[in-house]
Amino acid sequence: MNRMIKRVVVLGGGTAGWITAGLLAAEHCGANACGLQVVLVESPDIPVIGVGEGTWPTIRNTLRKIGLNETQLFRECDASFKQGAKFCGWETGKAGEFYYHPLMVPEGYGEVDLARGWQEEEVSASFADRVNFQSLLCERGLAPKLMTTPEYAAIANYAYHINAGKLGKLLARHCQEKLGVVHHRVKIDGVRSHNNGDIAALLREGGGEIPGDLFIDCSGSAARLIGQHFQVPFMSCINLLFNNRAVAVQVPYARENDPIASHTIGAAQKGGWIWDIGLPTRKGVGYVYSSAHIEDDAAYEALRVYLGQCLPAQQVDTLTYRQLTFEPGHRAKFWHKNCVAVGMAAGFVEPLEASALVLVEMAAAMISDDLPVDRAVMDTIAQRYNRRFEYRWAGIIDFLKLHYAISKRDDTTYWRDHTREATTSERLQEWLQLWSRQPPCKHDFPLVEEVFASASWQYVLYGMGFKTQPRPTRHRAHNTEDYQKLITQNKNFARQCFSALPKNRELVEKIQRYGLQRV
- Give me the pLDDT at residue 109, please: 86
- CA-wise closest residue to 328 among 397, 225, 276, 395: 397
C-alpha to C-alpha distance for 159 and 80, rounded to whole angstroms: 9
- Give me the pLDDT at residue 407, please: 98
Burial (CB < 10 A; 0-12, 13-18, 19+), residue 134, is: buried
CB 352 within 8 A of CB 405: no
C-alpha to C-alpha distance for 351 and 503, rounded to whole angstroms: 26
C-alpha to C-alpha distance for 342 and 233, rounded to whole angstroms: 15
Distances (CA, A) of 495 to 483, 485, 507: 19, 16, 19
State the average pLDDT over residues 493-515: 97
pTM: 0.95
The share of the chain scoring above pLDDT 70, in percent, equals: 97
State the CB neighbour count (10 A cutoff) for residue 512: 15
The residue that leads in pLDDT, 505 or 121, is: 505
CB 47 within 8 A of CB 64: no
- Give me the pLDDT at residue 474, please: 56
C-alpha to C-alpha distance for 425 and 323, rounded to whole angstroms: 29
The share of the chain scoring above pLDDT 90, in percent, equals: 84
* pLDDT tens, residue by residue, 332-363: 999 999 999 999 999 999 999 999 999 999 99
Q: 273 falls in which pLDDT band (50, 70, 90)?
A: very high
* Chain center to CA of 141: 21
State the average pLDDT over residues 132-149: 96
Enumerate the H helices of 266-377 as residue ranges. 296-307, 313-318, 355-369
- Give me the pLDDT at residue 124, please: 84
* pLDDT tens, residue by residue, 290-309: 999 999 999 999 999 999 99
Enumerate the H helices of 371-425 as residue ranges. 378-405, 413-418
Q: 485 falls in which pLDDT band (50, 70, 90)?
A: very high
State the average pLDDT over residues 437-463: 88
- Give me the pLDDT at residue 45, please: 79
C-alpha to C-alpha distance for 466 and 91, rounded to whole angstroms: 9
Distances (CA, A) of 455 to 112, 351, 472: 12, 20, 20
* pLDDT tens, residue by residue, 182-228: 999 999 999 999 999 999 999 999 999 999 999 999 999 999 999 99
For residue 50, pLDDT beyond 70: no
